[in-house]
Amino acid sequence: MMWELLKLRIVLLLALSTVSAAQAGQTEVPDELGAMTLDARVDESVMGINDKLVKWRRDLHAHPELSNREFRTAEVIAAHLRKLGMTVTTDVAHTGVVGYLRGRSEHPLVALRSDMDALPVTEQVDLAFASTVKGEYLGQEVGVMHACGHDNHMAMLMGAAEVLAGMADEIPGSIKFIFQPAEEGPPEGEQGGAKLMVKEGVLQDVDAIFGLHVFPSALGTVQYRTGGIMASSDTFKIKVKGRQTHGAVPWGGVDPIVVAAQIVLGLQTIPSRQLDSTLTPSIVTIGKIQGGVRSNIIPDDVEMLGTIRTFDQTVREDIHVRMVRTVSLIAESAGATAEVQILAGTPVTSNDPMLTRLMVPTLERVVGQAQVSISPRTTTAEDFAYYQQQIPGMFFFLGVANPLDPAPASNHSPYFYADERALPVGARLMTNLALDYLRLAGADKAP
């Protein structure tokens, strides 16, 4: 890894770019890095493939596939990367595809990532290319839709790959294009997603990684944040064991439904009363309660499912401990027992501060300074975090809302819609981030 060696050069370049921007009244990559001519060519190249971007996106949108089942999607992407002359590896983390583009040198090596999977959602948007695909999820037939916008991510990265492949002999380093399956989570009982990609070595020799996510904010706007931008996400299961009895004689048993209700309320005191709320936002949510079969039977047990979200690893671990204690003692106080199973999920998506500061001028140059802002934290989660645990990474949001829509639907909604005018913007962002990082890292001057 060259990251430690590159930090000294980056610090100097940050100071240089700050002085240059102050003198010029704008934020740009320093002229001595040869950015401006190549930037103009990138813009021209992206606009030249705009029709392809739309075609790719619509094809992928019409043929969505669930996590770890992205077979057709992988074939389409692999064929595209091979056509561009890249070294292509398939079947990474089940259905993932990785393209390697060799520039003037092997290092630095930067990675660009897109997710591939769709969701078990039946599309309600009236589009000529709307999904009519059916799939199986948890043993049930479901509609399948790119309700989170991953079709856009793939088209944008396919576009960036085409543009960058066309100027490979001018790239001062090399680039990996990571198309990742199962970002939404692998099927129960399977491994997958970014965690498995990392385990299978996708980040070998990579110095930094970039990713984006479309979001129903103003079209063409970009939001970023240093440090934690998206929350960790853990799932938990609680089983309360009481003693069944007649509903008319509750004293004849132990009512697990009442105990479960007390547990729900007790868990809310963890983020609101037990944690220092000035440190970081935290959420404990119960999403499912199941127990009982009749109105006049107090059941033997109740099961609950929920999620935990926070932005700090220490707080995350503290919540786990407090949950077990709270649940166990509430159950014990009523004569019941309770088992708590916490399934550790996605870590905090945390942007490397130095890398983020380094690349903000690129975001501002591509979309305009007025279009770039600091993102609030979001309690949604992203498994891009697993890459960031290994190497410096930057993840940001791109607005795709139609300006004529007064209330754009959120990601994961059956009405989610992404304005296709954002496609070339995303392709330009990913292309320029890769080029600027490699130029700033100074491959030609690296030891």
CATH of the domain at 93: 3.40.630.10
Domain end call among 317, 346, 375: 346
Under the banding of pLDDT at 50, 70 and 90, the label for residue 169 is very high
Total number of domains in the chain = 2
Residues 150 and 84 in one domain: yes
Which pLDDT value is given to residue 60? 98
Residues 46 and 171 in one domain: yes
Q: Are residues 325 and 177 in the same domain?
A: no
- Average confidence (pLDDT) over 4-11: 56
Same domain, 435 and 363: yes
Give the Cα separation of 395 and 385 in Å (integer). Answer: 9
DSSP 8-state secondary structure symbol assigned to residue 198: H
Question: Do 119 and 189 share a domain, yes or no?
Answer: yes
CATH number for the domain harbouring residue 341: 3.30.70.360
In whole angstroms, what is the distance from residue 327 CA to residue 267 CA?
A: 8
pLDDT tens, residue by residue, 288-317 = 999 999 999 999 999 999 999 999 999 999
**Closest alpha carbon to 399 in 423, 380, 383:** 423
**pLDDT at residue 334 in the model:** 97
Q: What are 145-163's pLDDT values in tens digits? A: 999 999 999 999 999 999 9
Query: Could you tell me the residue range of the domain that residue 400 belongs to?
Result: 3-226+350-445
Predicted confidence (pLDDT) per residue in 348-370, tens digit: 999 999 999 999 999 999 999 99
Higher per-residue pLDDT: 33 or 233: 233
Same domain, 211 and 281: no
Higher pLDDT, 260 or 19: 260
246 lies in the same domain as 339? yes
How confident is the model at residue 363, as a pLDDT? 98
173 and 239 both lie in a single domain: no
Average pLDDT over residues 248-277: 96
pLDDT of residue 72: 98
**Torsion angle, CA of 40/45/50/51, rounded to 10 degrees?**
150
Q: Give the residue from 308, 325, 346 where a domain finishes.
A: 346
Tokens of residue 418, six digits: 């992404």
Nearest of 167, 168, 119 to residue 144 by alpha carbon: 119
Residue-wise pLDDT for 388-408, tens only, equals 999 999 999 999 999 999 999
**Residue 325 predicted with pLDDT over 60:** yes
For CA atoms 150, 116, 439, 15, the dihedral sign is positive
The label of the residue with tokens 């993932």 reads: 96
Q: Tell me the pLDDT tens digit for each residue of 98-147.
A: 999 999 999 999 999 999 999 999 999 999 999 999 999 989 999 999 99
Question: Do residues 407 and 263 both lie within one domain?
Answer: no
Q: What is the 3-state secondary structure (H, E, C) of 314-356?
A: HHHHHHHHHHHHHHHHHHHHCCCEEEEEEEEEECCEEECHHHH
Q: What is the pLDDT of residues 21-50, one digit of tens each?
A: 443 444 444 444 455 577 889 999 999 999
One domain for residues 151 and 269:
no
Share the mean pLDDT of the chain: 92
DSSP 119: B
Q: What's the distance, Cα to Cα, between the start and end of the chain in Å?
A: 12
Domain boundary among 346, 372, 405: 346
Q: How confident is the model over 210-234, as a mean pLDDT?
A: 97
Tell me, yes or no, whether 328 and 388 share the same domain: no
Helix, strand, or coil here: 268? helix
- Residues 11 and 145 both lie in one domain: yes
